[in-house]
Amino acid sequence: MTELIRWFDVHERPLPWRRSTPWGVLVSEFMLQQTPVDRVIPVWSTWLDRWPTPTDLAAASVGDALRAWGRLGYPRRARRLHEASVAITARHGGQVPDDSDSLRALPGVGDYTAAAVLAFAYGRHAVVLDTNVRRVLARAVEGSATPTAHITTAERRRAAALWPTADRRSARWSAAVMEFGAVVCTARTPACTSCPIRRSCAWLAAGQPPATASARRQPEYRGSHRQARGAILALLRESTGSASSSAVEQVWPDTAQRLAAIGSLLDDGLIVTARRGSYALPD
């Protein structure tokens, strides 16, 4: 524990949300889900310039949020973040709540995001278990190359027993172990020779046994349902109003896939049907 905090004191990246408001931290957590840091930073900065508080975003339309989200991917996150801003404005006077139950009651906020906001925005004790943290603990403590596919109750108990209990140290530890997993104890090429905890790492001591289950391959994006959805959304983001059915057909000619993408976008509330069979982003 001490070694990782010392390492973090020297190697902490100057990520902008680390010196931001609780709202800035919450926005970063939504954006960082399945999206690399370098892609998030410019969008996050633009977003916070435009909507520096939850109330600012709540006053905007869902369509504005989707346009600002741009090509970060998984655009349902933008809608959920907008919904969270509305809830924060209505229930908490425009202030991001600082207790776990209230945070988890917000749209799009689960156990991990609630813990991350408590730790990184408010400096509270919270067990923050993202993919990087789980991998570090699996290797250093359990001697496994990778964690299980899903968090188990036993894993949560083991992690809770390791976490410092004092608020400030707990928050610092959470940030340190997450950073360590992101830049040193990485999934594919861990830097074991320069690892500050290599002498106590159970995985290294066991000879770095490989993962027992093969990693799930990401489905091919090209020609996929996801790409069809993205192409249609990109068209609507760039349109000043609605886009006709023929315009949508031009960006995705495959009829069956286009109709499936439109249907799922409508179901997710990411687009709406406008007049004369055209489509638009929601108000």
Residues with catalytic function = 29
Q: Which residues contact residue 100 at a Cβ distance below 8 angstroms, ignoring those fewer than 6 apart?
A: 114, 115, 118, 126
Q: Are 243 and 236 within 8 A, CB to CB?
A: yes
Residue 51: exposure state from Cβ atoms within 10 A (0-12, 13-18, ≥19): buried
Q: What are phi and psi of 266, to 5 degrees?
A: -65, -45
What is d(CA 167, CA 96) in angstroms, rounded to the nearest whole number? 18
Question: In this structure, are residues 137 and 162 in contact, taking their beta carbons and an 8 Å threshold?
Answer: yes
Q: Residue 18's CB: how many other CB atoms inside 10 A?
A: 14
Contacts of 127 (CB under 8 A, 6+ apart): 115, 156, 159, 160, 163, 174
CA–chain centroid gap for 147, Å, is 19
The answer to whether the beta carbons of residues 219 and 229 sit under 8 Å apart is no
Structural contact between residues 44 and 35, judged by C-beta atoms closer than 8 angstroms = no
| Extended strands (E) in the chain | 272-273, 279-280
